[in-house]
Structures are given as C-alpha cells and as structure tokens.
Structure 1
Amino acid sequence: MKNILIATTALVATAGIAHAEVAVSGSAKAGLIYNSEGSTTVKLLSKANVAFDASGESDGGLQFGFNTNHIVTNNGSVDNDDTTVFMSGAFGKLSFGAVAEADEVAGLSDIGFDGLDVDDVAEALVGDELGDLVGTSLGHNVNYTYATGPISASISGRLNTDHADAGKSSYAAGVKYSFGQGYVGLGYGDHEVDTLGTAKVVSLFGGVNVDNIKVSAMYSDANLKSVGGAKFGAKAYGINAAYTMDALTLSMGASKANFDAGLGLVDQSAFGIGAAYNMGGGATVSAGIARVKSVGDENLSGTAAKAGASATETRADVGVSFSF
C-alpha cells in the first residue's frame, strides 16, 4: 500500500498539478458471524476496502477534492461504497454525492467486529434509516456545513439527478455544540415517503468522553402522516458506553424503537456487549454478542406467526480487523 501511495504521489508531481495530494489507504477484516435465525446460523465474512482521497487548492484559496471507497466482500465483485466530491473555504464546506444527512448530528457505535446492528434500532428515525425502514430511499446527495469555534451547523437534501426523476423530497438540518470532552446536538428531518406520506423527525444527541470512559446517547421523536391524513407517532432511543483499559476496550449498547399501531412497523429493542483488543500496528481482534427482540410483526421469522407475537434473535461475531 505504501508503494502504491509513493507511486501515486510521484505521478501527481510529474503531472505538474500544484497544491494537489492523492492518498490511498485500506482496511480489511475476516471472521465469523452467528445469527440464531435462518437456515445457516454461522457464516464466514471477509471484507477488503480501498479508499482514495484527493485534495487540492486553487490560487484563490478554494480547497477541493473527493474521496471514494471500493469494497470487496467474500471475494465477490468490487462495489462502490460511497463517493463524495467537496469544496470548502471561509464560506464553509459544500459536499455532493454520498453525504451525511444533516439531522444525523452524531451516532452510536455498534457492537462487534463487523456490527450487530444494536445501534440501528436507536437510529431508526434519523438520516436515511427511516427510508430503509419503510422501503424507500431517503439518502441525501448534497450537504452544506459551516463550523465556527465549538459550533457546527449543517443542512442537507435529496435533489434529483435525472430530468426524468420524480423522487420524493427529503431535507434535514442539524447543529452540534462541543465543549471540553463532550457534545450536545439537535437534528430535524422533513421527508416525503412514498409508502407513508410525510414524516417530521426531531432528534437529540449527547455524549461525553472522560478519562477512559466514553458515553453517547440519542433520542428521536417522529410525527408521521399517511396519504389519507391519518397521524401516527414513533420514538427511538439508545445509549452506548465504552471503557478502555490499556489495549482492551469493553463496550455495551442498548436501544429501543416504538411505533404507533397502524403503521405496519415493528417495535424493536436490542442489547449487546462487546470487547476489542488493539494488537498494535493497525490490527484489532474484537467480538460481540447481542439480543434483538421484535414485537407485533405478522411476518416475523421463527416461532412468531401472528401480530402481537414476538421473536428474539441472538447475534454474535468474532474476527480481526486491519487498517493500512
């Protein structure tokens, strides 16, 4: 990887591009994943990711660049795992492509070496996660962020990329205030949802990192309106805590999401614990175990066969991760 970086940098230099830099980095992981549901409970997972970052600066001081990630899973095809183009200056930073939704001011860390989705339950209503929940796309493709001192503010939206595209609108705003070893944040999302109608979501975030202990939490409250005018509510919240002692980090996460009856969505709760050991040199071995419970879904797998029934999944993983 270092040889590639040197060669790439040399190529850029000989091309005569002033104030330009290109960097290549990578990561990889391999391990086992367990899920109590499904015909195959234990699966092998391997991933390799290559990231390209390029940046430059104009004569007038405008900074610009892009980053793109390409991932191979289980020796399959190469997939584009997000590409972003940006420009920045005294006016702030404007990004296009795979951008962050502005209402997702901060997130929760997941449990496990590849992630057991404990955090996804708490994040069900923020960013583009609500779209995943109801079967539509709410991913944004433009973001503007301005930061001054301890305060950063963002707005983002989903704009059509084709003249024939008649996609639904989705916009968000967020603000974050950092102080000492902590932060607080507020996010707002306003969406049109194909399968639902409209959704307005307010989210609160907070976190602190003191000595060897890191804690983060979030809460979201959504007002949903169907095409026919019926109103529903939804709430999601969660917490993650981690304690680091030398090379060992122990973590736990808990989350819950509740939806009004009639939405056709499933209440969920999740709890997990994990451990990670930093071996140095960019190598980490980690593992986690979690229980995820779903209630009230007519199509639950396992023994739940009717509305009001429940199903509980046990998820676990263990593996090694490398960064280059």
Structure 2
Amino acid sequence: MWIRLLKLGKKPSDHMRVCSLHFNETDFLQKERVKRRTLKRKAVPSRNLPKVSHDAGVGRSRTIRSRPEPNTKTETFALWGNDGREDLEDRQAAEGLLALLNSHKSTAVPLPGPSSRDIGVQVNTPKVLTLCELIDSDELRNLTGLSNTAILVAIVEQFEKHHSDKRVRRINVRQRIVLLFTKFKTSLTYVTLGSQFGITRDLANTYIHELIPALANILKPLIHFPPKSEILKNMPICFNEFQNVGIVLDCTEIYLQSPKCLCCRIRFYSQYKSYLTVKFMTGVSPGGLITYISKPYGGRASDKVIFENCNLISLLDANRDAIMVDKGFLIDDICNLFK
C-alpha cells in the first residue's frame, strides 16, 4: 500500500524512510511520557502524496535536498513499519525522498523542436563625439589659436604627406593636431584633454610629445625674414613715425621642471622670473608676423648675449633698418658697431 500511494516506481530498500508530513495526527499512537511518536500498525501515507510516478532513472539522479520549514518538526518512519525498530532519526534519507516527490515538475524533458541559430546581434551604441568634431570655426580659434579650418586642413595634409605612420591610433591625425594646439592655447591638464577627446591622460601626453617634433619640421619653413619691400607694404598706421623699423625684438621664457644636475639648474635659473626657464628671442615684423626665433638658451642668459650670439643683425641693412626693443634690451653698443 505504501509503495502504491507514494508511487516510488522502484523496489524499496531497508534504508528508505518516509517523512512524517505524509501522515495525519490520528495515525500516531498517543503515549504519555514518550518523546518519540510511533505509527499505528495499519497507518498508511495520506498527505502530500505525489501525482506522478518516479521511475528508477529519476530516483538515481542527484537532486537538491529540500529543507523543512523553520519551526516545523519532522519525523521519519521505516517504510515497512517496523514499530520503531529502525532508526527514526534518519532525516537525511527522508528529505531526499521528499525532494524526489516534489521535483516531478522540474524533471520534465522538453520536446525536440526545430533547430535555430543566431544570425547576428544588433546593438545601437551611441557614438561619442569628441571635441574636434563639435567645434566650429569660431570655437576653433578660441581653443587652438588657428583662425580658420583651412589652416588646420593644410597642416593635416602636410603631416600625412611627410610623416606617414602605419600604427593604429585611438584618434585620427586631425584630432591629435587639435589636441596639441588646444594644449598650447589653453594649457589644460592632460586629464581634462583626455576626457574631452575620449582618451586617457597618459595617451594624451604621448600624442602631444610625439607631434611636437613633427609639427616643428612642418611649420619651421613658415618663419622667414621678409624683405624690406614686403615690410613696408604691411606697415600699420601706428608705425607711421617708425617707417625704418624692420623687426621688433623681445625674449620669451618658458618654465621648466627642476633638473637633477646642479650645473643645469644654475644655467636655467632666471633672475627675472625667479624660476628655472628656457629662453628664446623672438622677432616680429611691424605687421605682426613672426619673422625670427632663436635657438633656446638657459634662463640665466641675458638678452644681450642671445642677440649677439644669434647674429640677427646680419639680416638687416645697417643704413636704413632699425630694431625696436624695450628699455631692458641693452644692445645699443652692438648696433653701433655695424653703422
């Protein structure tokens, strides 16, 4: 009767147990001063009975043991009703059997259907626009100092012509050049530049240092000393009283990190800036065109020493050309030697 009601589907063994949740309270003998309850000899399971028979294959499969609910006391009884002669505390076997009885729904095997496969996956990923793709001509001038996009296009063409590189970059040549000029114009940090161009800080630093020598070779021919006739054609109104001026000179200093060498620190220390700098002498025509840039010198070098070593005076006509400088540029004695 027990085998038929529990729908075991296989021959029971001596170690199988039935949980007390399958019996009613009236199926137990009521004895006083007895901790363990005993089933009546004619008691049969009548509660929580399975609806589907479990065959031997399902019985041998490994299932997750279901634990009883909290504060619920469960007992196990021998399948053959040995009146307590078997171990009634073997709860592990009872829980395993109860898990088998309650898992008939999860063991259903799906019917074979038509085969299918993935043809492709469509993902709509929004494109991240970089700073180079968002700026127009006005914003280009404010960020990079370039007056229009035509100059940028010309620089990109010259770079691709003379500096071909087959390595794969995160951003193209145009974006890297805008990155470099933005750094020169705004002096933003590498973290800010990297976030604006969709790259990391280290990658922005690498791109800038790679482009500086390449662009220096491209833009160096643009700095030339014009003849006197060209200077006079572009002479501004404010220079009406200074028609003989051929160039306006001044020195520019750029801050440097402190080197480890003591001699280098002495050579680069600037008394004017009270810091370590590298010094250039720049020449500008009266029309505002940069016409001369000297070699770099340490910040300790004076303006007079740089002017004397660069031999700029040889490019001027001693009889009709004049040099405009500020009060601290003491080169009168050198200029008088060439008169």
The normalised TM-score by structure 1 is 0.20
Flag the structure with higher helix content: 2
Task: Kindly indicate whether structure 1 or structure 2 has the higher relative contact order, using CA contacts under 8 Å at least 6 residues apart.
Answer: 1
Normalization by structure 2: what TM-score?
A: 0.20
The structure with the largest strand share of the pair is: 1
